[in-house]
Amino acid sequence: MCSDCLLPIVNCLFPNQVSIDKCLSITFAPLIRNDTMYTIKINFEQKGKEPITLSNIEAGDAILEVVLKNDIELHHNCGGVCACTTCHIYVNKGMEHLEEITDKEEDFIDRAVSPRLNSRLGCQSLLLDGGGEVEVTIPDQTQFLGE
Ligand code: FES
């Protein structure tokens, strides 16, 4: 029996290896995934960083909050109030799941490093009610100082 999720070892994908929260979410992901949860794939422009997929993310948080809660670095020098550009991200998939961009956000994106058509600010990219798949790319964070 797995000491984390208490399933028989044959049913547990990661026996005795991860915390109970992660273990349950991984083991039961196919069963509990529904239209009220998001799966978010995070790609990194920084060399050597592998993509990460986050499952069972609830609506209501901004992408910045989601990544910070999962110990993924994304600078946010203004504290997440749409007053800098350090939380700049690219949304590769699932833009329709994010709160609509505002004029103020567009103005700041224009000042970001290498803005593109799919640019957003992580602190303003709120996950709308519902669920689905979102994929983002985080620019190289080594270009920023501070937090
Ligand atoms: S953290 Fe400053 S604009 Fe998002």
User: Could you tell which of 123, 125, 147 is best to mutate to test the pocket of ligand 1, judged by most ligand atoms within 8 Å of the CB?
Assistant: 123
The CATH fold assigned to 38-143 is: Ubiquitin-like (UB roll) (3.10.20)
Q: Is the pTM of this model over 0.85?
A: no
Residue 84 CB–ligand 1 contact under 6 Å: yes
Cα gap 50→93, rounded to integer Å? 18
Where exactly are the structural domains of the chain?
A: 1-32, 38-143
For 15-62, what is each residue's pLDDT tens digit? 666 665 656 555 555 454 457 899 999 999 999 999 999 999 999 999
Atom of ligand 1 minimally distant from the CA of 80: 1
Nearest atom within ligand 1 for CA of residue 121:
4
Q: Which two tokens stand for residue 130?
A: 């519902």
Q: What is the pLDDT, as a whole number, of residue 104?
A: 98
Q: Quick one: which H or E segment has residue 66? A: helix 63-69
Q: Average of pLDDT values for 62-89?
A: 97
Among the residue ranges 33-47, 98-112, 125-139, the one predicted with the least confidence is: 33-47
